[in-house]
Amino acid sequence: MPSATLFIVNPPAGILSVSLAGITLRNPVILAAGTCGYLDEMNDVVDLSRVGAVVTKSITRLPRDGNATWRIVETRCGMMNAIGLANIGVDAFARDIAPRVARVPTTVIGSIAGFSIDDYVAVAAAMDDCDAIQAVEVNVSCPNVHGGTEFGADPRALSELVRSLRPVLSRARLFVKLSPIANGPLAIKDVAKAAIDAGAQPAGPNQRPGADAICLANTMPAMAIDVHTRRPRLANITGGLSGPAVHPIAVKLIHDCYRAVAKDSGTPIIGIGGVLSWEDAAEFILAGASAVEMGTSLFVDPRSPLKVAAGLETWVRAQGATGITELVGGVKLE
Ligand SMILES: Cc1cc2nc3c(=O)[nH]c(=O)nc-3n(C[C@H](O)[C@H](O)[C@H](O)COP(=O)(O)O)c2cc1C
């Protein structure tokens, strides 16, 4: 992959600036994987220099057509998708997209997906070669492909994956994006702990033995049926639910993960799921997230991330805090 000159994203040390494993973002509002094109396509409608970061579409080793249509449907409280990781594959990404990364006026996080450890390692290595990609978000939680949640649903397999990825990432930080299904007998703290404590040999100085950040969470496995035709509304039969319906689930996952493992290990959490307003983002911050990603909201109002950032700024001041990081995990439980 051609190595790009690093675009110096120089965020002001403002009230909203946050640090994710040593990467400083100008604000904690991030555009979520798969909902904003491959890279910078949203720049026409939302000024990317005013968001904290953008996550690329999930990239796999080989190109994928994805699932048959319909693969997105609206539901009463959000949307369901079964895109099936449609993407151009890592070679085309390296050739056609990576050279543009250095010109994107915000932090770029590269999302990777795969079906085996070798798949993930190949894509992670290509992302690490692109100097301007500051972190890799490992999607172990896609519910729309066969095997898409395997690593995310098995703490031992996840540890092994993180151990294999750690040495490949000489520079880019390693973020792990988990599934919301770990909310019952398989507790999110166990899956997050497996990623954080993977026990890898760090490749360079200042690297950890496991994940640098935990992203919570991907879409929730779900299904909708057209009662007139009696057919599933998605060609894939099932899909992933996102939007307002999943927001309270994500708040609990963040709260549980922060208290059980993230806080003590100093691992930042990126909260994802149904952030449409600044209040939704503030809830994530209070539950323990250091930053938030927005996906479904972009389909409703592509400029909503800017409104969320503005609302957060007013909120932080009203709370009497000097910076948003003071409010991370600040929910009052007594
Ligand atoms: C149409 C669509 C495509 C998505 N594609 C990806 C993807 O490629 N990789 C990924 O990690 N998550 C993907 N997601 C999940 C989102 O990044 C996010 O985790 C999820 O939608 C929950 O956030 P939200 O409620 O703000 O949308 C996708 C979501 C949607 C709606």
CATH for 52: 3.20.20.70
Catalytic status, residue 77? no
Task: Calculate helix-pair angle for 117-129, 155-165, nearest 10 degrees.
Answer: 40
Say whether pLDDT at 13 is over 70.
no
Confidence tier at 280 by pLDDT (50, 70, 90): very high
- Distance in Å, CA 218 to ligand 1 centroid: 6
Q: Quick one: pLDDT at residue 112?
A: 98
Say whether pLDDT at 7 is over 90.
no
Residue 255 lies in a domain: yes
Say whether pLDDT at 6 is over 70.
no
Say whether pLDDT at 4 is over 60.
no
- Distance in Å, CA 40 to ligand 1 centroid: 16
- DSSP character at residue 105: S
304 CB contacts (<8 Å, ≥6 apart)? 276, 277, 294, 297, 298
Greater pLDDT, 44 or 230? 230
Say whether pLDDT at 144 is over 90.
no
Say whether pLDDT at 141 is over 90.
no
Say whether pLDDT at 291 is over 90.
yes
Find the mean pLDDT for residues 68-96: 97
CB of 274 sitting under 6 A from ligand 1 = yes
Range in 3-12, 134-143, 190-199 with the lowest mean pLDDT? 3-12
Say whether pLDDT at 88 is over 70.
yes
Q: How many CB atoms lie within 10 A of CB 45?
A: 12
Residue 245 lies in a domain: yes
CB of 272 sitting under 6 A from ligand 1 = yes
Residue 293 lies in a domain: yes
Residue 7 lies in a domain: no
Confidence tier at 9 by pLDDT (50, 70, 90): very low
Confidence tier at 201 by pLDDT (50, 70, 90): confident
Find the mean pLDDT for residues 50-66: 98
- From the list 82, 84, 139, 69, the residue with the least C-alpha distance to 110 is 139
- The angle at the Cα of 69, spanning 68 to 73, to the nearest 5 degrees, equals 135
CB of 242 sitting under 6 A from ligand 1 = yes
Find the mean pLDDT for residues 127-147: 91
Residue 106 lies in a domain: yes
Find the mean pLDDT for residues 145-167: 88
- Average model confidence (pLDDT) across the chain: 93
Residue 4 lies in a domain: no
Q: Which domain holds residue 303?
A: 18-327
Say whether pLDDT at 207 is over 90.
no
Which residue out of 36, 142, 215, 257 is catalytically annotated? 142
CB of 34 sitting under 6 A from ligand 1 = yes
Report the distance separating Cα 122 and Cα 226, nearest Å: 40
Residue 193 lies in a domain: yes
Say whether pLDDT at 8 is over 80.
no
Residue 12 lies in a domain: no
Domain count along the chain:
1
Say whether pLDDT at 137 is over 80.
yes
Q: Which atom of ligand 1 is nearest to the CA of 58?
A: 8
